[in-house]
Chains A and B, each alone.
Chain A
Amino acid sequence: MANLSRADVEHVAHLARLGLTEEELARLEGQLNHILDQYTILTTLDTEHIPPTAQTIELANILREDVVQPSLTADEALANAPERSGGHLVVPAILGGGEGGA
């Protein structure tokens, strides 16, 4: 049986940058444990010598010509921005002050 605690759920939510309500955290604790229980079936399979599959079609290193192609203008690229300043996106300050500094 999976035993993800409430603190674990809160930790994962923080890693995932999801702001969850008390009610959501409580519901997810039960649901995630129930879903994780379904995963235990995989432990019955011996996969020690099995290579992992990340992609199913065997394509490797498709190269293209290094030529200039038309792309979005700055205005087009910024048109959906919640906040912009001239030709730039306004991003929240991440350095200095607060716990957010990397």
Chain B
Amino acid sequence: MNDLTRLSAHEMTALLRSGEVSSQALTEAHLAVAERQNRALNAWLAIYRADALAQATAADERIAEARHEGAAALNALHPLCGVPIGLKDLVSVKGGQATAGSKILQGYIAPFDSTVTARLRQAGAVILGKTNMDEFAMGSSCEHSAYGPTANPWDLTRVPGGSSGGSAAAVAAYHVPVSIGTDTGGSIRQPASLCGIVGLKPTYGRVSRYGIVAFASSLDQIGPFARDARDAAILLHAISGRDARDATSAPVEVPDELLKLPTSDDEAAGYLRGRRIALPREYFVEGMEPGVAARVREAVAAMEQAGAKVEEVSLPHTEYGLATYYIIAPAECSSNLARFDGVKYGLSDRTSGEYIADYLRTRGAGFGPEVKRRIMLGTYALSAGYYDAYYLKAQKVRTLIKADFDAVWAAGFDAICAPTSPTVAFPMGAKMADPVAMYLSDACTLPVNMAGLPGVSIPAGLSDGLPVGLQIIGAPWSELSMLRLARAYEGITARAPWRDLEPAELQLTDDPTTPSPIERKERLNAGASATGSGKA
């Protein structure tokens, strides 16, 4: 085996079961790359070497035992048994940190496993560590992490997207084949797009939120990152399903067909024949980079050529999405983040001895600028005299946005195709001074959260040498057919030249002269050139 880190999860499954490779060897190979490159990428906030190797040993034992029992026992194992995985640092892993990218949770040790963690353990996945993120998942660049930004493996001077930037960069740089992120307004799909990988936000209620640090509870969903549709489907299968500990998790069946997406490209491509795909005209407007729009239109044209029926549709309330989202999400965050009071856990400043003053100091010191901004917005939108004008109004517009999508499903479409992000990965610092410019990064993804729908971003080629994501949006609970479409698109583009292109920055070392992303960003800001075009 040349390089174990280049394998997909489903390739690992086959090699693990046949005994050609051990989880020990896989885990060691991935740990080595993650450790070597983390200085330059800052994708990981914690790497659990000893614990990961212990989990790998346990997985190897499970596989050996099953092999001894026979084929049926082997097939009963989850495909993720023995496969390394990374978790965004807001997923609770008992005994480990869960900073949510914030200083206010520095030193906090999770006393229990999240349901997602428990299900991954049950499947036998090997947790390699915790990945970097925008603080409390608020951001689109990973620059709002209290622990420094993550770099994009395609160009170290650019952002990986966010908020799940660490999980996306780790998969793109071959530190792990799959990882877990969360998506409240695009935080899985947008970084997947910017890093050239697959990222899926499930239907609201598909995955339990128990044990995940909450941002906006009516919008948050947990989902997979992977380098192909099959791996995304396998990971989604492992984490989905009703959980008594999350009352909003839905009693909806998780299809086992997620584990059986076609291996053959031709067979996969056949799924496109007769599918009806909607192309929303409002998603191709101002602010969209021409290269991004071109790649998405080419992708849709390729699907059409393979037998899909493509029709332009209108989602007329799209232009109200940004304002609606930036009322609802901050309102929910201001309530959720009220729990950080310096009493039960987390940072606590008790120097004044007066409770309001201590509360102000604790939260003033613990939260970063974007989190403060959103708490302020949410508190204002919910405050007396403004509730009707802002929060109630936004909830009503949310009804209209959802109705736009409902009309598309009622008209018999199988999926909506759109850009994931209006731009390719942008230079670090480019949008930090203007919050609204940053918010616009999620203009094409946040309506999907407000409607509770599933969406997946898949690689669709490059623009200016950087990855472009195609977003496939489905009706509620249609993840399987969305992933079949994604797999079909992989099938029809399997021989496209861009499929062979890789992130440019994979030869990173832990040499102390290698700048970290924060050092690189400081140099970039200090330098006269603000174009950010050069490679580091």
| Chain A residues near B (Cβ < 8 Å) | 4, 9, 12-21, 24, 28, 31-32, 34-36, 38-39, 41-43, 45, 47, 50-57, 59, 62, 64, 72, 76-77, 79-83, 89, 91-94, 98-100
Contacts and interface: CB of A to CB of B under 8 A. Distances in A.
Contacts of A51: 396, 399
Given A19-B364, A56-B451, A50 B396 contact: yes
Interface stretch (B44-52, B126-134, B155-163, B323-331): B323-331
Contacts of A32: 373, 376-377, 380
B402 A18 contact: no
Interface of B: 108-109, 111-112, 203-205, 218, 244, 247-248, 250-251, 317, 319-320, 322-324, 326-327, 334, 338, 341-346, 348, 350, 353-361, 363-365, 367, 369, 372-373, 375-377, 379-380, 383, 390, 392-400, 402, 435-436, 450-453, 476
A57 B375 contact: no
A98 B357 CA distance: 10
Contacts of A56: 204, 218, 402, 450-453, 476
Contacts of A72: 111-112
A38 B208 CA distance: 33
A47 B363 contact: no
Given A12-B380, A13-B376, A47-B397, A53 B402 contact: yes
Nearest to B340: A17
Given A45-B400, A54-B218, A16 B379 contact: yes
* Interface majority SS (helix, strand, loop, mixed), chain B: helix
A9 B376 contact: yes
A47 B353 CA distance: 48
Contacts of B343: 81-82, 89, 91-92
Contact of B350 (A4, A82, A99): A82
Contacts of B327: 39
Task: Report which residue of A14, A21, A77, A82 has the largest number of chain B beta carbons within 10 angstroms of its beta carbon.
Answer: A82
A51 B108 CA distance: 41
Contacts of B353: 92
Contact of B323 (A41, A55, A59, A77): A41
A52 B399 contact: yes
Contact of A38 (B248, B322, B358, B373): B322
Contacts of B394: 42
A54 B217 CA distance: 10
Nearest to A71: B112
Contacts of B380: 4, 12, 32, 36
A45 B205 contact: no
A100 B359 CA distance: 11
Contacts of A83: 348, 350
Nearest to B391: A52
18 contacts: A16-B334, A18-B363, A19-B365, A28-B372, A31-B435, A32-B376, A35-B436, A50-B396, A50-B400, A52-B398, A53-B396, A55-B204, A56-B450, A56-B476, A59-B250, A62-B247, A92-B353, A92-B358
Nearest to A2: B380
Contacts of A91: 343
Given A28-B372, A52-B399, 17 more contacts: A15-B379, A16-B379, A24-B372, A32-B380, A38-B436, A53-B399, A55-B452, A56-B204, A56-B450, A57-B203, A57-B204, A57-B205, A59-B248, A72-B111, A92-B343, A93-B355, A98-B356
B211 to A, nearest CB: 12
Most A C-beta atoms less than 10 A away, residue of B326, B338, B345, B390: B345
A6 to B, nearest CB: 13
What 7 pairs across the A-B complex have the smallest Cβ distances?
A56-B452, A19-B364, A19-B360, A52-B395, A80-B345, A82-B348, A92-B355
A57 B250 contact: yes
Given A54-B395, A57-B248, A17 B356 contact: yes
A77 B392 CA distance: 36
A62 B244 CA distance: 9
A57 B454 CA distance: 12
